[in-house]
Amino acid sequence: MSAGAAGRAADAAAANAWLRAMPAVFVLIWSTGFVVARLGMPHAPPMGFLAWRYAASIVGFGVWVALARGVAWPRDARQFAHLAVLGTLQHGGYLGGVWAAVKLGMPAGLAALIVCLQPVLTAAWLSWRSSTHRVSARQWFGLWLGLAGLTLVLWRRLHGGELGVAALALAIGALLSITVGTLYQKRFVAPLDVRSANLVQLLAALAVTLPLALLEHEPMHWNLALGAALVWSVFGLTLGGSSLLYLLIQRGAATEVTSLFYLVPPCTALMAWVGFGEAITPSMWLGMALCAAAVLLVRRG
């Protein structure tokens, strides 16, 4: 084998290894979202924090695009509009709903459980509306198994907070936003460069979030915890996690991709155990095992 052929083979192997690792890396990054909320929520209003996050992320993606070569942009106004809708749903609606619900007193575990109904909601919609994407019996079993495991993981966290109508409505709105956003991307958004696509989405998210942030009366209390939460939100969750989510939805079936969200609360519980000493009960360990088995069933179905 020539040196050139060997180099191409090595590059292909590295690319395949990265593609196989993408789901696991996404789950690890996305799971830190509740850790960030725990750090930042006591010191900032939800829309104010998200406005700062989107603005800083726009700068980050702008620098990335400026330094990179060959970044492809959408070819027509329609694709720009589709990306703006996607950014409004997956950034503005989803994150805004979750953060506002938790700020109003909803326990983070309950917010996570509501949002993680997304795989079942996505599968139900596709089974009803799509003739090309059918959810198999094995996948349905995996989806309900994952929901049972998720309930076991989060059961202890479902208590200890007032649950108001406004908080519940915001959490359900977040669930609908990320579900519709996932389906919208698969239906309308053509494969695009993740850097330019995310930049357009974040501009749209900032456009809808900033006016809401200006209506909030609570100030930003800048300190080390809030600064750390903002830095990781920008570089880890937005530049890293959101880019991976965009690529996963672009490359995979919607049901398979959304099933990964079942692994986020168990992974978050492990992080809280390591970082904050929060206990993990036997039922939580069982729930984690069920969630892992569920994702395996869905992705192989």
Tally the domains of the chain: 1
Compute CA 151 distance to the chain's CA centroid, rounded to the nearest angstrom.
19
Percent of the chain with pLDDT over 70: 85
pTM value is 0.82
Q: What is the pLDDT of residue 80?
A: 95
Fill in the DSSP letter of residue 116.
T
25-36 residue pLDDT tens: 888 898 888 778
Summarize pLDDT for 145-184 with one digit per residue, the tens. Answer: 888 887 887 776 665 555 578 888 898 899 899 999 988 9
- Using the predicted structure, report yes or no on whether residue 220 has a pLDDT greater than 60: yes
Residue 10 pLDDT: 58
Please give the pLDDT value at position 204: 96
Report d(CA 186, CA 140) in Å as an integer.
Answer: 20
Closest by CA position to 209, among listed 47, 86, 53: 47
| Residue 130 confidence (pLDDT) above 70 | no
What's the confidence (pLDDT) of residue 89? 95
| Residue 103, in any domain of the structure | yes
Structural domain span for residue 195: 30-300
d(CA 120, CA 146): 10
In the predicted structure, residue 276 carries a pLDDT above the cut 70: no
> Residue 225 domain-assigned?
yes
Number of DSSP helices (H) and strands (E) in the chain, helices first = 15, 0
The angle at the Cα of 61, spanning 38 to 52, to the nearest 5 degrees, equals 40
Give the N- to C-terminal CA distance of the chain in Å, as an integer. Answer: 38
Contacts of 236 (CB under 8 A, 6+ apart): 29, 32
Q: How far apart are CA 168 and CA 172, in angstroms?
A: 6
Tell me which of 60-69, 167-176, 226-235, 285-294 is least confident.
285-294
Model pLDDT, residue 163: 59
How many residues in total does the chain contain?
Answer: 301
> Would residue 18 count as lying in a domain?
no
